[in-house]
Chains A and B, each alone.
Chain A
Amino acid sequence: MIAWLHPGLIFIFGALLIPVLKGRWQKTYMLLLPIVALIDLTFMSEGAFWSFPVSEYMLTFGRVDKLSLIFAYVFAIASFCMTLYALHVKENGQHVAAFLYVGSALGVVFAGDLFSLYLFWEIMAFSSLFLIWYRKTRASSEAGFRYIMVHLFGGICLLAGIIMYVQSTGSIAFSIFDWGLGWSHMASYFILLGFLINAAVPPLHAWLADAYPEATVTGAVFLTAFTTKTAVYVLIRGFPHVELLIWLGAAMAIYGVVFAVLANDARRLLAYSIISQGGYMLVGIGIGTTMAINGSIAHAFCCVLYMALLFMGAGAVLEMTGRSKFTELGGLYKYMPSIFALYMIGAFAISGLPLFSGFISKTMVVESAAHMHLPIIWLMLEGAAIGTFLVAGLKLPYLTWFARKDPVVEAKEPPKNMLAAMGVTAFLCIFIGVYPQALYGMLPYPVEYAPYAAAHVIGMSQLLLFTFVGFWLLRRMLHGTPTITLDTDWFYRIGGKKFIWFCEQPLVTVTEGIDKGLKKIADSIVWFSRNPATSSKILAAKAIVAMTGSTVMRTLKPGYIQYEQDLEKLKNMHVEEPVPRVAIGTGILLVLMMFTLYLVVYLTHGVLWI
């Protein structure tokens, strides 16, 4: 007997009750759901549960092992913090969308087969869309459309890959996919493409940096965790030890940092940091040793929490001031010191400062790159660590809370629930950093890595301290400029516009031309068939006039004028000549007679011929 419920369903069906409840009851209920899911998780045992046969296939909604459990735990914990942060939001729709989103992410995590994976994958895309649209600005509506288009494309790639996979193997099992070069691996390529789009791997990442900063304050906090981290999860399941991921990941880590330096929007800077952090996880998956995979999972776990905390901080500033651009921010420390302090805990965690959560997970991935003798990858990841501290730990807080003598705008501390949520998340970021065994114990493979070895601690401290020196010397260069940064969404934003223009201008002109031409032909056929005898006479007369109409002929042959007069007469005749109209019944009668005649001929001659 199974003594537990599918935690994803707790969220999905739980979401349906939210609009029914009101006031304090609703708030209590929303906070209880993640707690119930968390308790539920502790009752779960490893194995495959919740299997349903659908035609010839077996859908498995509950594949429980250490890998799915650790992701489920962090999703449930994070969703509690995020719900607390969003508690003051009045719109029920936002809460419902958020819960559906969390629930479907848990659905993906426990999916044991490709069909149920795909099902939850799509629910995730659509429910998250509403967290963007609820911002109700023009920018968010447009960004939301682009977001869903990209995810639909990714979903179609995934589906195509799944269908090819099922065709070739006859099974829908979600396990490690074959990898290699050649046509026989086409299914794996499509599935990987679908996964990489959700993991926001450049050049397929632009949807994230485009849409997340346009989402609602609380919606963006939810968005940070689930789409990219479920993608990391499915990559661990499906494509461990694929070397391509190492290079993609390392490039991604640097790419995110460079664009974060250029960003003028606080939440866009953080969105690029998500991409950058995802790079570490991909490198770990690509290396594929037990230590590297452990590192990726641990980093995903920590990243969910500190990324949420960072977005909560930037979101709180946006909520209270209505501003998120660095060109419009500065000096807010006077009004929001506690938000600054809590934000900095997240910033230290993402930067991997010793005693904060990022330190115990990031160094694990970096160290496994060193173990595999990948010096270039190691240097790129260390460089990305510098950049991460620079953008999320120095640039953002400096330009938001300091940089100006006087605050740009009056503000106050945000609602208590927001502060409490940030407090809980910040506590977790420190707790994991100080007591890493709590996290290491949950990892699928035994951990032999000691994060607090003196060399690690000192190396990281040197790295970050001297990054600060570089920042302080060049801090003037980092001031925001009123610009946007072009990214790969340029291709579909500009390309899309050009395509619409092509459809509206040249294409329509050509089709209109063809249309007119065809109409003319049809008209002339109608004209001709109305009275074939006279029409052909007119055509003949026209031809004669055309032939004899040249000035030479006119002077040579005065009789020419006669032809023109004939033509006029004929034209008039054609129009005036009464066309005998036959009722439709008569027409049918004629046709029937024709058929009968044909039948008679066929029967007599046909039989004779045989």
Chain B
Amino acid sequence: MEVKIEQKHLFGILYVCLVVSILAGLLVHSHEPTHAAFVWQAVFSAIYGFIGCVLIIVVSKEIGHHWLQKEEDYYERH
């Protein structure tokens, strides 16, 4: 029970951090000359972080699953 409450709190903090980081990005880059550059600079890292993470996991696992991952005694048997 105790662990669950802790996790809930941690996720609360996480959500706050996510929102704050986006807002801070918008704030810091508010002086960018064009609207496109502003939006791009402000949230690029957030988007890249999420998409990059998903891509790395999915692509790596696919490569491993279909090609590189073998049973543990592979080298003994080959």
- Asked whether A464 and B60 contact (CB < 8 A) given A484-B70, A486-B68, the answer is no
16 further interface pairs, Cβ-Cβ under 8 Å (given A386-B49, A387-B56, A466-B49)? A261-B64, A262-B61, A386-B53, A458-B25, A458-B28, A461-B24, A465-B46, A466-B46, A467-B53, A468-B14, A469-B49, A469-B50, A470-B49, A473-B54, A474-B58, A477-B61
Nearest 10 pairs between A and B by C-beta? A470-B53, A466-B49, A462-B45, A261-B60, A462-B46, A463-B49, A466-B50, A386-B52, A483-B69, A262-B64
For A467, list chain B residues within 8 Å (CB): 49-50, 52-53
Does B59 make an interface contact (CB < 8 A)?
yes
Residues of A within 8 A of B (CB): 257-259, 261-262, 379, 382-383, 386-387, 390, 454-455, 458-471, 473-474, 477-478, 481-487, 493-494, 497
User: Chain B, 21-57, contact with A by CB distance < 8 Å: what is the 0/1 string?
Assistant: 1101100110000000000010111111111111011
- 8 Å CB contact of A466 from B18, B41, B69, B72: B18
> Does the CB pair A258–B63 fall under 8 Å?
yes
- 8 Å CB contact of A483 from B14, B47, B72: B72
Name the residue among A379, A459, A494 with the largest chain B CB count within 10 angstroms: A459
For A493, list chain B residues within 8 Å (CB): 75
Assembly CA distance A455 to B42 (angstroms): 9
- Asked whether A474 and B78 contact (CB < 8 A) given A458-B25, A465-B21, the answer is no
- 8 Å CB contact of A258 from B18, B28, B59: B59
For A386, list chain B residues within 8 Å (CB): 48-49, 52-53, 56
- Asked whether A262 and B60 contact (CB < 8 A) given A483-B69, A484-B72, A497-B78, the answer is yes
> Does the CB pair B52–A485 fall under 8 Å?
no
For B29, list chain A residues within 8 Å (CB): 455
- Asked whether A463 and B45 contact (CB < 8 A) given A386-B52, A482-B72, A483-B71, the answer is yes
For A390, list chain B residues within 8 Å (CB): 53, 56-57
Shortest CB distance A492–B (Å): 11
Name the residue among A257, A464, A466, A468 with the largest chain B CB count within 10 angstroms: A466
Assembly CA distance A382 to B49 (angstroms): 9
Shortest CB distance B37–A (Å): 13
> Does the CB pair B57–A465 fall under 8 Å?
no
For A478, list chain B residues within 8 Å (CB): 57
Chain B contact surface mostly: helix
> Does the CB pair B63–A461 fall under 8 Å?
no
Shortest CB distance B77–A (Å): 11
> Does the CB pair A471–B45 fall under 8 Å?
no
For A469, list chain B residues within 8 Å (CB): 18, 49-50, 53
Shortest CB distance B75–A (Å): 6
Assembly CA distance A486 to B51 (angstroms): 26
For A473, list chain B residues within 8 Å (CB): 54
For B74, list chain A residues within 8 Å (CB): 484, 486
Assembly CA distance A275 to B61 (angstroms): 19
Assembly CA distance A423 to B39 (angstroms): 42
> Does the CB pair B21–A461 fall under 8 Å?
yes
> Does the CB pair B50–A382 fall under 8 Å?
no
For A459, list chain B residues within 8 Å (CB): 25, 44-45
- Asked whether A481 and B50 contact (CB < 8 A) given A390-B57, A455-B29, A494-B78, the answer is no
> Does the CB pair B56–A261 fall under 8 Å?
yes
Assembly CA distance A486 to B74 (angstroms): 9
> Does the CB pair A486–B18 fall under 8 Å?
no
10 A-B interface contacts by CB (under 8 A):
A261-B57, A382-B52, A462-B21, A465-B17, A466-B53, A469-B49, A469-B53, A470-B49, A471-B53, A483-B64
Closest to A481 in B: B69
> Does the CB pair A455–B28 fall under 8 Å?
yes
> Does the CB pair A462–B69 fall under 8 Å?
no
Shortest CB distance B24–A (Å): 5
Shortest CB distance A263–B (Å): 10
> Does the CB pair B49–A464 fall under 8 Å?
yes
- Asked whether A258 and B49 contact (CB < 8 A) given A462-B43, A482-B72, the answer is no
For B25, list chain A residues within 8 Å (CB): 458-459, 462
For A465, list chain B residues within 8 Å (CB): 14, 17-18, 21, 46, 49
Assembly CA distance A261 to B62 (angstroms): 11
Shortest CB distance B17–A (Å): 6
Name the residue among B14, B22, B49 with the largest chain A CB count within 10 angstroms: B49
For A477, list chain B residues within 8 Å (CB): 57-58, 61
Assembly CA distance A357 to B50 (angstroms): 23
Assembly CA distance A482 to B59 (angstroms): 19
- Asked whether A258 and B56 contact (CB < 8 A) given A458-B21, A458-B28, A466-B18, the answer is yes
Closest to A262 in B: B64
> Does the CB pair A454–B28 fall under 8 Å?
yes
Assembly CA distance A485 to B70 (angstroms): 6
> Does the CB pair A462–B57 fall under 8 Å?
no
Assembly CA distance A390 to B14 (angstroms): 16
Assembly CA distance A459 to B42 (angstroms): 8
For A462, list chain B residues within 8 Å (CB): 21-22, 25, 43, 45-46, 49
